[in-house]
Chain A
Amino acid sequence: MQTVTKIVFFIILTFGVELFLSGHNNPGGGFIGGLVLSSAFVLLYLVYDIETVHRGTPFDFKRVAALGVLLAVGTGVLSIVFNVPFLSQATRVVDLPVFGETELGTMTVFEAGVALTVLGTVVTIILGISEDVE
């Protein structure tokens, strides 16, 4: 089970990122991407115990969520600096390895913010409750 998870975890993670990046033109997007990512982490927590995973991922998921919010709001604020209405988006096509041709823009940053917030919040809640069990 643990062996399988090691592989599956990365597949899910990749899938999550793929979903998130492809969101602009195909099914996917920040919200779903974030959910898939968090389900990957939830799987990890189910298979191993919390301490083991904490050692592997030494970051606080509350902060991840906060970073997400910051990104999402930040892109909006940034557009003020560039003298365009709040939350205007700009795009540019970039070739990324693995994921192929992808459009990267402030939209992507915005979506990344959404994804990170979802990931952070879901994992925080689940961890909060499960830690309570012990």
Chain B
Amino acid sequence: MITVLLAIFLPFIAACLVPFIHKFLTGRRIGWFVMTVPLFLFLLLLRLVPSLSNDAVYQYTFPWIPSAGVYFSTYLDGLSMIFALLITGIGSLVVFYSIFYLSEREAIGRFYTYLLLFMGAMLGVVLSDNLIVLYVFWELTSISSFLLIAFWYHRKQSRYGAKKSMLITVTGGLFMLAGFLMLYTMTETFSLRELIAMREVIAADSLFIPAMILVLLGAFTKSAQFPFHIWLPDAMEAPTPVSAYLHSATMVKAGIYLVARFTPVFAGHAVWFYVVSGVGLLTMLWGSVNAVKQTDLKALLAFSTVSQLGMIMSLLGVGSLAFASSESAHIALFTAATFAALFHLINHSTFKGSLFMVVGILDHELGTRNIQRLGGLATIMPITFSIALIGSFSMAGLPPFNGFLSKELFFEAMLSLQNANLLTLDSLALLFPIIAWIGSIFTFIYCMVIVFQSFFGKIPEPFPGQREAHEAPIKMLIAPLVLASLVVLFFFFPNILGTYILGPAMVAVYPQFRTIEGLVPEIHVWHGWNMPIFMTLGVIIAGILLYRFLGYWKGVYRLGFLQWTLDRLYNAFLTFGERVGTLVTRTYMTGSVRDYVAYIMLIFIALIGIGLAGFQQFVFDFSNDAPVEINEGLIVFVMMCSSIAILFARSRITAIILNGVLGYSIAILFVVFRAPDLALTQIIVETVTTVLFLLCFYYLPEWRTEHKSRSTKWRNGLIATASGIAVTVVALLVQGHSLYPSISIYYETASRLAGGLNVVNTILGDFRAFDTMLEVLVLFIAGLGVFSLVKLRRKRGADQTEEK
């Protein structure tokens, strides 16, 4: 339990500490401190792996907002473990790599703070059991991703990419939240574990499909599935370690995690299968086709990530069919798809991580990552070349690399659809392997592009780099080397991974099939001359042919419909939104305070009017009221006189003083009614307000009689009178009804419950402390707002004088 809590909070704590420690560990040395965090957590989590394979789970709950069903509950099972290990493992390597990647002049402290923030949030996502907590962490990953993409915020493209990713992922997150709330209305719980147990209840509910679609929208936006993938290529403006970490290994996999997590809740329904695997396959095809035409290596890798994510997604979709079938032989067939998905998830992190780091090295050493300006580097940078070769060939699905194994499993899973005549699938069953096969061919082509166009051929003249090209320093090569060796290791020993890491995860995805034979299949490097191997051979042959003649058919990409239509749509939508927003705002933002007051009052009257109309019980009960004393009458008379006098004041200072009289009279009234707290507050507020008025006096325009048209005057008068009447009516009505239980119970219990005798304060500070806390926050934000507005105005004023 402590491990899980530590895993979530240690990165956050470290993120808070980074600015302070940065003072002592200056420059890039701060990276060593940061690296200890994921490394420590990785080892800590690794210790739990053996117990997880014995079906142990680590669960811990403590109340956060129990009244709303929100418990901060952590939960570690096999599925969370895969992701947690990826986050911490790849995290350590990425931090190690970034130490040498970033230059000393960058804001290194800020970079690592964001990175740790992300790490904590991501671990929070995969280790939370409560959906609301999960959602909070989910959005936190979006925010930290935004900050990291915009790390070089002086670049316009960075800001654009950051905004785009934020808009798309956060919108998706909101949809997901709506889905969670629907699930809550069905089951009255936010706990994932309880949701899985209530599978039948959810499936029978009429909100089943909407909730499913909404949750999937969250997953698809996060995992860059078609048509939401457009943010990922633009996110490549981030520093390369960030791209390697967030945008290929971890954050974009959060959507995969969500889908896998919700498989036991939603799976078995035809819609789930068709949407998940359909969108997944489409994404795979679209991503791989688009990747081939890229000239920027990072953009190419971005599209390839999109495509690989689609592939994993489609496998999860096929895996969901296990819930729809009844024969145990079929079940094992489909669970194998999920197994392939999880296996490929790990493989993808290893090879794509190493590829990103290679691209980072090229960028770092040569100053460009444009394929057209690269070439012939195999002899100059042999180690970098080997890593790129391993990574690309693994991605292409060639032996002896782990990508080959998962690609075989992928084909097998797609072919297995034919055996199952489930969910009216017969005619479509053939389509799935065909799309998968075409997607794989394009995958093969862009892998060849990476290897051959940047490392073979002749060295371009003039050479892109300013300096003499040479092998990258060994320090930068360590991290990608570790990943590349994992790529090879996983090929030779896949079953260690299968038993210890994937097995528990399979149990987590299929809790009810834990007894079924073959839930965790053996992975064989060679399984005879069967269909998948023929498909792989076909991919290789077609891929090589198409790659050879790439120059002849590349023109296809210039066809109209293949252009960036989705991007254009996004941009047009933003421009359109801004224009409409401006238009609407212009109509009511007149710049006159008087108009704004009128709006506020009108809405106020309307709300009360509607409320009263619905209420329809006009009982004025004066029986409980105390008789009006003469002194009270006098005070009220003074108030009335001063407020009427304000209307006829000839100078502004008279008006301010009259307003003060009004305020102090209210204070006196409070004293008379024995409300010392209110009286005190009123007096001090009045004093401070008067000071403020005096300060502002300097700026206010000349006080002059305004000559407004008669109708305007009547209108304003009407609004003023109506709001006065509304308040009076409400005040009188409140006396006549007791809709809510009296709060005077607090008078008796305050001392006992909150240890205070002043009931007002115990309410403020204890019973309703949450409100008070937020009010304090609002006050602070308002203060900052005023401050910055004033400063901004002065700055602009200074600029204008300079221009003169």
Residues of B within 8 A of A128 (CB): 786-787, 790-791
Stretch at the interface among B472-480, B494-502, B544-552, B770-778: B770-778
Do A39 and B688 have beta carbons less than 8 Å apart?
yes
Q: Is A133 an interface residue (CB 8 A)?
A: yes
Assess A69 versus B780: contact at CB under 8 Å? Given A24-B755, A126-B691: yes
Whether A76 contacts B773 by the Cβ 8 Å rule is yes
Over the window 26-55 of chain A, the binary record of Cβ atoms lying under 8 Å from chain B Cβ atoms (1 yes, 0 no) is 111111100110110010001000000000
- B698 in contact with A133 (CB, 8 Å): yes
Query: Which of B685, B758, B765 has its CB near the most chain A CB atoms (within 10 A)?
Result: B765
Please tell me if A100 contacts chain B, counting CB pairs below 8 Å: no
Complex Cα spacing A35 to B694, Å:
18
Distance of A91 Cα from B791 Cα, bound (Å): 42
Across-interface contacts of B680 in A (CB, < 8 A): 19, 27-28, 32
Are B66 and A31 in contact, CB atoms less than 8 angstroms apart?
A: no
The minimal Cβ–Cβ distance linking A130 to chain B, given in whole angstroms, is 5
8 Å CB contact of B684 from A25, A35, A91, A126: A35
Determine whether B710 belongs to the interface, using a CB cutoff of 8 Å to chain A. Answer: no
**A129 CB to nearest chain B CB (Å):** 5
For A73, the closest partner residue in chain B by CB is B773
B794 neighbours in A (Cβ, 8 Å): 132
- Taken residue by residue from 360 to 371, chain B's Cβ proximity to chain A (1 for < 8 Å, 0 otherwise) reads as 000000000000
Residue pair B756, A25 in contact (C-beta under 8 Å)? yes
Say yes or no: B66 contacts A85, CB within 8 Å. yes
Which B residues touch A118, using CB under 8 A? 776, 779
Complex-state Cα separation, A72 to B64, whole angstroms: 17
Known: A32-B681, A66-B780, A113-B776. Contact between A42 and B691, CB under 8 A? yes
- Could you pull out 10 A-B pairs where Cβ atoms are within 8 angstroms? A24-B756, A24-B757, A28-B677, A28-B680, A29-B765, A30-B761, A35-B688, A65-B783, A76-B770, A89-B769
Report B70 CB to chain A, min CB distance, Å. Answer: 10
With a CB–CB cut-off of 8 A, which chain B residues contact A107?
A: 754-756, 765-766
B580 to chain A, nearest CB (A): 34
Decide: A69 and B72 in contact? CB cutoff 8 A: no
Measured between C-beta atoms, what is the minimum distance from A71 to chain B in Å?
A: 9
Residue of A nearest to B785 (CB): A125
- The answer, yes or no, to whether B571 is at the interface (CB within 8 Å) is no
Q: A122 to B755, alpha carbons, bound, how many Å?
A: 30
Complex interface bits, A91-134 against B, C-beta within 8 A gives 1, otherwise 0:
10000000000010101001101100110111011101110110
A27 to B684, CA, bound (A): 14
Q: Is B745 an interface residue (CB 8 A)?
A: no
Q: How far is the CB of B617 from chain A (nearest CB, A)?
A: 35
CB distance from A126 to the nearest CB of B (A): 6
Bound Cα distance from A133 to B692, whole angstroms:
12
Q: Chain A: residues with CB nearer than 8 A to chain B?
A: 19, 23-32, 35-36, 38-39, 42, 46, 62, 65-66, 68-69, 72-73, 76, 80, 83, 85-87, 89, 91, 103, 105, 107, 110-111, 113-114, 117-118, 120-122, 124-126, 128-130, 132-133
10 extra interface residue pairs, beta carbon distance < 8 Å, beyond A39-B687, A110-B772, A117-B779: A26-B758, A27-B677, A28-B680, A32-B680, A36-B684, A72-B777, A73-B777, A85-B65, A91-B755, A103-B756
Closest beta carbon of chain B to A67's beta carbon, Å:
10
Given A24-B755, A69-B780: A132 in contact with B793 (beta carbons within 8 A)? yes
Chain B residues near A69 (CB-CB < 8 A): 776-777, 780
Chain B residue contacts of A32, Cβ below 8 A? 677, 680-681, 684
Residues of the B chain whose Cβ atoms lie less than 8 Å from the Cβ of A31:
681, 764
Using A86-B770, A125-B786, A129-B790 as known contacts, say yes or no to A26 and B765 having CB atoms under 8 A apart.
no
Q: How far is the CB of B772 from chain A (nearest CB, A)?
A: 7
For B696, the chain A residues whose CB sits under 8 A away are 129
Shortest beta-carbon distance from A4 to chain B in Å: 17
Q: Count how many chain B residues have C-beta atoms less than 8 Å from C-beta atoms of the other chain.
A: 47
Residue B676 at the chain A interface, CB threshold 8 Å = yes
CB distance from B64 to the nearest CB of A (A): 6
Min CB gap B333→A, angstroms: 46
User: Are the CB atoms of A68 and B765 closer together than 8 Å?
Assistant: no
Q: Could you tell me which residues of chain B, from 678 to 728, have a CB within 8 Å of some CB in chain A?
A: 680-681, 684-685, 687-688, 691-692, 695-696, 698
Residues of B within 8 A of A105 (CB): 755
The CA of A46 and the CA of B635, in the complex, are separated in Å by 31
Q: Chain A nearest CB: distance from B700 CB in Å? A: 12
Contact at B681–A24, with CB atoms within 8 Å?
no
* Residues of chain B within 8 A of A39, CB atoms compared: 684, 687-688
**What CA separation (Å) do A29 and B763 show in the bound complex?**
11
Query: Measured between alpha carbons, how far is A130 from B699 in the docked complex, in Å?
Result: 11
User: In the complex, what residue of chain A is closest to B789 when comparing beta carbons?
Assistant: A128
Asked if B754 and A89 make an inter-chain contact with CB atoms under 8 angstroms apart, the answer reads: yes
A12 to B681, CA, bound (A): 15
In the complex, which residue of chain A has the Cβ closest to the Cβ of B779?
A: A121
Docked complex Cα distance between A128 and B777 (Å):
19
Are B765 and A62 neighbours in the complex by a CB distance under 8 Å?
A: no
A42 contact set on B, CB distance < 8 A: 688, 691
Given contacts A35-B688, A85-B63, A87-B770, A27 and B695 within 8 Å (CB-CB)? no
CB distance from B802 to the nearest CB of A (A): 18
Smallest CB-CB separation from B72: which chain A residue?
Answer: A80
Q: Is B740 an interface residue (CB 8 A)?
A: no
The residues of A that contact B677 with a CB separation of less than 8 Å are 27-29, 32
The docked-state distance in angstroms from the alpha carbon of A110 to that of B684 is 21
What residues of A have a CB within 8 angstroms of the CB of B62 in the complex?
80, 83
Nearest Cβ on chain B to A6's Cβ, whole angstroms: 19
Q: Determine the distance from Cα of A89 to Cα of B760 in the docked complex, in whole angstroms.
A: 16
For B797, give the chain A residue with the smallest CB separation: A132
Nearest CB in chain A: distance from B786 CB, A: 5
- CB-CB contacts of B44-82 with A at 8 A, as 1s and 0s? 000000000000000000111110000010000000000
Which residues of the partner chain B approach A80 to less than 8 Å between Cβ atoms? Answer: 62, 64, 72
Within 8 A of A (CB), among B597-615: none
B761 touches A24 (CB 8 A): yes
